[in-house]
Each structure stands twice: as structure tokens, then as C-alpha cells.
Structure 1
Amino acid sequence: MDPIAHHTHTPDVSFDGGDLDCGNGLLLLIRRHIDPLPRGGLLEILSSEVSVDEDLPAWCRLTRNELVSWTKVGRQRSFLVCKGTLAERAAAPQTAPAPTQAAPTLPARRQPVPAPAIPPLAVMGIGSWPRPRWMVEAMHAHVEGRLAEQAFHETADDAVRLAVAAQERAGVDVVTDGEQRRDSYASFVASRLDNCQLIPLTDLLPLVDDPEEFAAELRALDIPAGEVRHPAVFGPLVRSRPLVAHEVDFARTVTEKPVKVALPGPYLLTRTMWMECISDQAYDSREALAQDIVRVLREELADLLDAGAALIQFDEPVLSEVVFAGAKNKRSFMCGALSESLGPDHELGFARDLLNAALAGFPRERTALHVCRGNWTPDESVALSGSYAPLVTTLSQVRVGAYLLEMCTPRAGEMEVLRALPDDARLGVGVVNQKHAAVEETDAVAARIAQAIDLFGRERVLLHPDCGFATFADNPICAGGTAQDKLAAIARAADRFR
């Protein structure tokens, strides 16, 4: 498209990107301004950077937003972009986006809330639960600035009530809130931290070395790049409100059972948030970013313990990518970790040290670590595969009270390998596979439980599915009814050993 003398349409919103290029923050500014607009809304982008002439039209094609026109006077450029297509603007009257409300400030806790003990052979989910369609729609509207904070949480409260009730009907001993307020198990953190935001994966394509190869990899891995959002850091991280403590506060009002909550681990967050093309504007290195991530997680851990969370689980599935991704050593989508790694020995040591720094000084018996091999698609053929053998040394060095591990799928190898883990830690064993549509027979689940008891002792064993039922809100692994049936199968089998 050639430049014209004047735009024939009036923008609804305008901002000046100065001399920023798409790899140095301009795409973040575009996303921040275009998200709150309704379909058909017009955004004017002012820029003096010559590379934007090619990069912005490419971004528009990838994100399916229409470049309506652009002008050029000397170095100054003006791009008029329609959210969606201009035809959508003609089809509906434009209204200004509703202003978002500030997040409510939680009252300070004057004294810690006691947490109930978790018994041996306790049945629990890993974390996520399929979200109702209306919850997913509310989530998108909230992330894009079209739904106020209070209205979003009122909607999420209803979804949590349904998720908790389903788990209780299944007969679990420990509940989660189903992560109903999260767009995914990890990237949601970007919507809770200052100087961090969520951007669709399609926005990242112009920033990688080979956009076509990266896009092909996403398609091969069954990843909806237009729907899945990724955290992007554009300034020093600040935790001005809880990440998930408010989830525990509400969950405890709708159940008498112990409440477990999952947090993305410090290594996972470092791998997902560190992108050389964006993060290095705020941090000199990923190690510097990791220090702030550890600080934020320690602040959150203290809040969660005071809130009465019975078990706080760090999710670190990307450890599997470190040892099982093979010799390719390139970008991988594994669990959203897009940045490159520096080799297994270095990465495992880095992950161990970050986890121990986050956990130091907190009661070990109320902490857990979850590891799996990828849970974004029911297609087992694209997930990683391999025994825990390359990981047990690192896992053993993490000062955590329980390991909640994928074990039902053949991709996880033999259970006996886990005997190398510390004797004073509890072992959570995956005994149903959330990727399979069929619900496991009680006898088959009971056989896995019996094996775990023989290997680790009844007092140490906890029971759960291999992973969550809906890692990504837009891409759940299974339906809510199936999730409830699978937890019920674990509960029935566990009853044989009580």
C-alpha cells in the first residue's frame, strides 16, 4: 500500500511511538491502545522509524487487523489501523470503550489463617478446570480493557463456585479454584504485575529470527497463536497487588475442604518473560529479571500462607523441555517458554537455585513442585517424552515438601525412578491421564495407587491427574464433565486403601 496525502477516516484513538521499532516496544504500545477498542475501532499510530513501513503491514496481516491507510511527511509517518476490518466499523455504531476500574485493594491480614492438614492418599486436581464459555468471554473482555475489574471478578466468582462444586461432587479431599480467573496457568501473571502485559503470540512473530518457521512450529504443535497470550516485560516488575492470594480468599468462602493453589515457578516465569527483543529494555540480563521474579514470588508465598492455603504448588513443566527437547536447542513453545536455553546442566542448576531462593525460610510441608511434559493439546504425539531419570538429581536438591508428578502416561517412564527423591518428601502420583477422553477404570487406577504405596509408603502418597484439565482457557484439554468423572475415578480407587 502506498502512502496517501490525508486519511479519509478519523481515528478513535491516537498515540505517538516516536522512533521505536516493532522489536523495541512499539508493538507493546500498539497492543495497549488497540485492545480496548471495539471491533471496527480505528487507531492512529505516529512513527518516525523507517522500518515500521514494512513491519507494521506485516503485523496487520498476521493479526488480521486492517491497515486502512498511511501518510508520510519527511520522517513523520501516520498509520491508521482498524481493529478487525473496516466493514465491521460500518456494520455497528462506535462507542468509546468502558473505563476500567482500579483493582480493589485487599485488606491487610492481621493474623495468619490456619490451614488444615492434608491426609495421606488425598485426592486433588493439579490446578486448572475447564472454564464456561461465558467465563472465557469475560476474560478476553477484561484483558482487552472492555470489562471493569469488579464485573470480571463477579463473573469469575460464579465460575469458581461451579468448579469447586464439581470437584466436591467427585469426592476430592483438596480443592483448587480451577484457575478460573487465569487466561493460562502461567501467563496470567502479566495481568497482575506492574510493567508487564499480555500480548497474543501472533504479535511476537515479527520479532523472532524466522517468523515463518516459528509460525509453522506453532501450527505443528496445535497451538492457537491468535488466542494464546504471552507475558511481555517493559519495565521493572512491581507487585502492587496479589498474584493469586485473592483466589484463595474467595475459594475458602465456598468450601470447607483444604485449598491448594498453583503458582508458575521462578524458572518458568524467567523463561517465559525473558525475550531479548523486549525484556532487555528493562533488564540487563535474564538473571537480573529472575531476581525480581524470585522477590515477587516470595512476597506472594507469604500472602498465601497467611491466607490459609493448605498447599502452594510451583509449576515447573519447562524443566522437561530442558532435558527432553533433544539436540535442537532452539526456541520451543513448551509450556509457553519461548526463549532459548543454554544447555541442560546450566539450566537445571539455574532452575534449582531459583526455586530454592523462592522457597527459603517458608514451611516446607506446605509447598509442592509440579512437573509434566506439556499439556497444551490432547495430541500425545507432540508432547515431550522421557523418564524422570535426568531430572531426579535436580528435583532432589529442591527444598520442597511434595512432588506432584505426571506418571500415568507412558511418556513419563517408570515410577520406580522416583524412589531416588528424598524420603521425607511426599509423592503425588498422576493416576489418570487428562489427555484421554475415556475415563479410566477403577481397577486400573487402583493398581497404580497400589504400586505407589508399595514404592513410597502409604503416608507419603498423594493422588491426582497427570496435569490440569484446562492449561489454556481457550484450549481446554477436556470438558468439565469428563474432568469430574476422572477425579471421581481416583476417589473411588483411593477408597479401597482407606
Structure 2
Amino acid sequence: MMSSEPRHPYQPQASFDGGSLDCGSGLLLLIRQHIDPLADGALLEIRSSESSVRVDLPAWCRMTGNELVSQQDGAGGSSFLVAKGKFVPPAPVATAPATRVGTVRPARPVQVPELLPAPAPAPAVAPLSVMGVGSWPRPRWLLEALHAHLEGKLGDAEFEQTADDAVKLSVAAQVAAGVDVVTDGEQRRDNYASFIGARLDNCQLVPITDLLSYVSDPAEFERELRALDVPAGKVRHPAVLGPLSRSRPLAVHELEFAKTQTVLPVKVALPGPYLLTRTMWMECISDRAYADREALAKDVVRVLREEIHFLLAAGAALVQIDEPVLSEVVFGGSVTGNRTFMCGVLDARGSPDAELGFAEALLAELTRGLPRERLALHICRGNWTPDERVALAGDYRPLLPFLTRAPVGTVLLELATPRAGELEVLRGLPDDKRIGVGLVNQKLATVEVADDVLARAEHAVQLFGAQRVLLNPDCGFATFADNPIASAAVAADKLRVLAHAARALRRRHLARGD
């Protein structure tokens, strides 16, 4: 590419040739792949024959907090030295030979199991059970290990050992608080949805800041992130680089370890197919592997369906399918008046009716033939900040047809916050659906008064009957690993309030067979 070797004042620790790729067609993903494993301050050499990179790469460095140290331009292209973070100059050298040459990783062949396992028995989830939605605040030492693992600095075995210790603490805290159904606290995940991208074949996790060039108005999107208190530099987003397949578990390993820590039923949450399709479909990236998002959605459904089969076979009492972005579909424009950031979803959406129809079809295919009593659906209105003012608002009326037809036995809903409207709206749901009623608001730093929570729980029992009611917070306590909504102490206290209400309701209603 270059007519002669570039002469930089410093020697890079790694080097790769991006050829003619521009920042909007994959170069940024390759940069992330090569810079993540480097130590802070280390240098990466990027070679490029694409002229637009001379303008776009400095802008990317400014946006992501990395430093452009040197740029050498020639007739055949350019060579850039980029420091990971702030650069501290060592002694200069006369030449800069590449110490490692990076290449594009070839797409792995799609792997599909010949036979999916059947569900195995699991402990039943009793009426009036108390459970968290999924995530639990992570210790600081786990966050350090999580980022080191994502950046390739910590091996799988070392990370899993650290995560095991955090799961033990999470499960013990839930049990001590009095829950009836346990989660592993999603301790191994960077957030509730994008973690999938680190475990699927032909998918890569990159910071959202790396992807601003793919949205229609990067400056406006960056402004939205700041206004909505989203830590964009730490939130990672899945980028599809080839046909998706599942050659290793997405969450079965989480379930298996959690089961060693408790005799209680264990619930596992997975991002739903509509959410993942919206998250993963980005023109100029995923369209090199898929003709359109419908084609991508088929593979998303396939890998999620495989995972649910294996989760049920491993004894998951409940598999929760998270589809919070459905509230963005119905409320994102009409209620807030503008586009609202939801859970890392970068792409634009169609009309609400079309999007709900698409989501309904995906959910039907995902759950086809699976036992509804062991499947749940969770919907909320966004959980990236404790600031209620920037979250979506609106009751469940626009989603009632979807909820009514959803092929799951349980819906776990945000209902404690006034933004979710009145509980009575849900009276039309079919009698064969249980309702997980959000009774404490994880966004509030104060713990709810026990008598108030009990009164709202009693109201739910009067509306739906004790056999159909479950008790839960509105959402997880730490949906995004680096941006927990509550402390572990507050989370435990909120679960204790729910457990207190559940005990009172059981005495009132289940003892007499309501």
C-alpha cells in the first residue's frame, strides 16, 4: 500500500493494514479489535489507503478519548499511530517496524445442533413468589475483571473464577432478603442484552462511541447520550460481522453455576428477538452478512431458540425474555416528542403497528412448541439512569393486544412507577397468564414503606387473584454493569419489603385457597 515504510517517531506495539476500508464500513471495528488488548498508553499503527480516514480517524480519536500521536501520508496511503488513551512518550526511535500484523478474522462456519434437548423437570414457581427481574449491582473488583476480559487482557478461566465469587454474593444476598426465585444477578454480563455479542460466533462487542459514524446524525445522537446520562464510552454494542451461530452457551453456564448455590428455583433472562434484531441491524456492517433485518432476525431467533432449549433442559424454572424496547416502539415518539435512547438500539424504527407485528411474529417462532408455563416476558420503559424525567411514560393500553397474544405464561411488568399507568389497564389479560407486578421502583434511592407495598400488592390480588400474582421490582438493579441504578444494600432492602408483603398475602389468601 505505502510506497515506502512510514517513519514515525515511536515504535508501535501492534500494527495492521485496513486497506481501503473507511470508518463507516468496518475499519473502526478492526481498530477496536486490535487496540482493546493493548495496555493503556500503548501504540497501534493503522495503515490505510482510504483518503477519508485522514479526516475521520482524528475525529474518532477525539470522541473515544484515544490520542493520535503521529500521521504519515504518502502517495499510496497513510499510516497513523494511535495511543490507547493518553500517550506518555518513551525515548524516540528512528524507525517503526510493525511488531504484529493484524488481519480480518474470517467468518466462522454456522453451527446448528442436530437435535435440541427436551425440557427437564424444574422446581415450580409458586403463586405470590418474590423475584428480582435479573441484574444485581456488581462489586468493583468484578467490574475491573469484566473490562479486562472484554479487552482481551484477562483469560476466560480467570474471569469465570472471579465472576463465580460475585455470583455467590449475589445469590446469598437475594436468599437472605427472602426471595422465592433466584437469578445469578447477571454478574458475568456487561449489560442485559449486548453480552450476547461476545458469545455468538461472528459477532463483536464495541463501545457505542465507535459506532456514532453509523447513525444518521452523530452529533445529535451524542447530545442525546449526554442528556440521557448514558455512559456511552463504557456501554458496548454488538456488531455482526458474519452469519450468526451459537457454538457455546449464551447463559446455560450462568444457570448451572447458580444452581450450585441454592435449592430455590432459578430464573434466567435473555434479550428478546426483537430487541436483538433492532440492536444488531446496522447498515454498512450487518448488511454484509444479511440482505435485510428480516434475514438477520431468522438467525437471531434460531440461536435464542437453541439457548432456551438448553436452559430448560438444564432445569431453568423460568426463562425470561426481555423486550423493553417495545415501549420505545409505542411511546418513543408520541409521548416524549423525540427519539429516545433505549438499551443500545441504534437503528430507526418503522410504524408502531408494523414493529409490533414484527416483534409478535418473532416471539411466536421463538417459543413455538415450548412450555409456556416456563416462559416469561419482561417489559419496562428504560433502565439506564435513576432520573425518572428522561424515561418513557405511558400505560399498557397500546401493548395489551401484544401481551394478550404473547405465547408465555408470565408477564413481568414495570408498575411501581407512576410512568407505567394504572394496574386496572391489565384486567383484560387472559386468565392463564400470571402477572409479575412491579411493586418497588429500583430508580428510587429510598426504600418503599412496607405497608404501602402490601396495599398495592393486595390490590393486585383483588384484580387478578392470588394464584396469578408474582411480586418483583420494576426492573433490574444494575441493567448496565457500569451504571447500577441502586446499591446492593438498597436492592436487598427493597426485596425484603417485597418478601414481607408476600408473607402477609399468603396468610390472607393461599391458606384459604384463593
Tell me the TM-score normalized by structure 2.
0.91
Structure 2 residue 60 is matched with structure 1 residue 52: no
| Residue pairs, 1:22-41, within 5 angstroms | 22-41=23-42
Take 1:284 and 1:332, find their aligned partners in 2: how far apart are those partners?
A: 27
In the aligned structure 1, how far is the partner of 2:257 from the partner of 2:174? 16
8 Å Cα contact 1:228-1:472 kept in structure 2: yes
> CA separation in 2, counterparts of 1:290 and 1:27?
24
Q: 1:69 to 1:162 in 2, by over 3 A?
A: same
| C-alpha distance after superposition, 1:347-385 (max 9, x if no partner) | 000001101110001011000000000100000000000
Contact 2:328 2:342 in 1 (8 A): yes
Whichever residue aligns with residue 492 of structure 1, its letter is: H
The answer as to whether partners of 2:332 and 2:339 remain within 8 angstroms in 1 is no
Aligned to 1:455: 463
CA deviation digits over 1:114-140, x for unaligned, max 9? 210010000000000000000001000
Give the CA deviation at 1:31: 0.2
1:282 to 268, 275, 289: 289
Letter in 1 for 2:29: L
Greater Cα offset, 111-120 or 74-83: 111-120
Cα distance in 1 for partners of 2:296, 2:318 equals: 26
Matches within 5 A, 1:13-92: 13-87=14-88
CA contact 1:24–1:281 (8 Å) conserved in 2: no
**2: distance between equivalents of 1:89 and 1:487?**
53
Change (3 A) 1:5 1:183: closer
Q: Deviations over 1:149-205 (max 9, x none)?
A: 000000000000000000001000000000000000001001111111111111112
Query: What amino acid maps onto 1:337 in structure 2?
Result: V
- Compute the TM-score of the two structures, normalised by the length of structure 1: 0.94
Structure 2 counterpart of 1:178, one-letter code = G
Q: Distance in 2 between matches of 1:487 and 1:380?
A: 21
Aligned CA distance change for structure 1 residues 339 and 6 (closer, same or farther; 3 Å): same
SS at the partner of 1:312? strand
Root-mean-square deviation (CA, aligned residues, Å) is 1.8
Cα pair distance change 1:378/1:463, threshold 3 Å:
same
SS in 1 for 2:204: strand
Kindly tell me the number of residue pairs found equivalent between the two proteins.
480
- 1:465-484 to structure 2, matched below 5 A, reads 465-484=473-492
> Does the aligned pair in 1 maintain the 2:214–2:282 contact within 8 Å?
no
Return structure 1 stretches of 4+ with deviation > 3 angstroms.
Answer: 108-113, 327-332
Query: Does the 8 Å contact 1:329/1:343 carry over to 2?
Result: no
Q: Measure, in 2, the Cα distance between the counterparts of 1:111 and 1:391.
A: 31
- Using the alignment, how far apart are the partners of 2:6 and 2:181 within structure 1? 64
CA contact (8 A) 2:51 2:77 kept: no
Which residue of 2 is the match for residue 268 of structure 1?
A: 275
Identity of aligned residues (%): 66
Structure 1 residues 147-158: aligned runs within 5 Å:
147-158=154-165
CA distances 1:388-418 after superposition (whole Å, capped 9, x unpaired): 0000011111111100000010000010111
Aligned-partner residue type, residue 140 of structure 1: H
The answer to whether the 8 Å contact 2:116/2:309 transfers is no
Cα distance in 1, alignment partners of residues 170 and 90 from structure 2: 38
The one-letter code of the counterpart of 2:469 is V
Letter of the 1:348 partner, please give it.
Answer: L
Question: Shift of residue 11 of structure 1?
Answer: 1.2
2:22 aligned partner, one-letter code: D
- Partners of 1:407 and 1:86 lie apart in 2 by 49
Unaligned runs of 5+ in 2: 92-98, 101-114, 507-514
How big is each residue's C-alpha offset from its partner over 1:434-453, in whole Å with a ceiling of 9 and x where there is no partner? 00011111111101111111
Measure, in 2, the Cα distance between the counterparts of 1:463 and 1:361.
27
Which one of the candidate residues 385, 392, 397 is aligned to 2:393? 385
**Contact in 2 for aligned 1:263/1:313 (Cα 8 Å):** yes
**Unaligned segments of structure 1, at least 5 residues:** 91-95, 98-107
Alpha-carbon distance, 1:333 to partner? 1.6
Which amino acid counterpart does residue 433 of structure 1 have in structure 2?
Answer: N
Deviations 1:15-60 (A, max 9, x none): 1111111111100000000000000111111111111010001001
Aligned to 1:489: 497
1:56-135 matches, cutoff 5 A: 56-87=57-88, 113-135=120-142
2:346 corresponds to: 338
Of the three residues 415, 423, 430, the one matched with 1:422 is 430
Q: Deviations over 1:454-495 (max 9, x none)?
A: 111110111100000001000000100000000000001111
CA gap 1:436/1:473 in 2 versus in 1, 3 angstroms: same
Deviates more, 1:277-286 or 1:189-198: 277-286
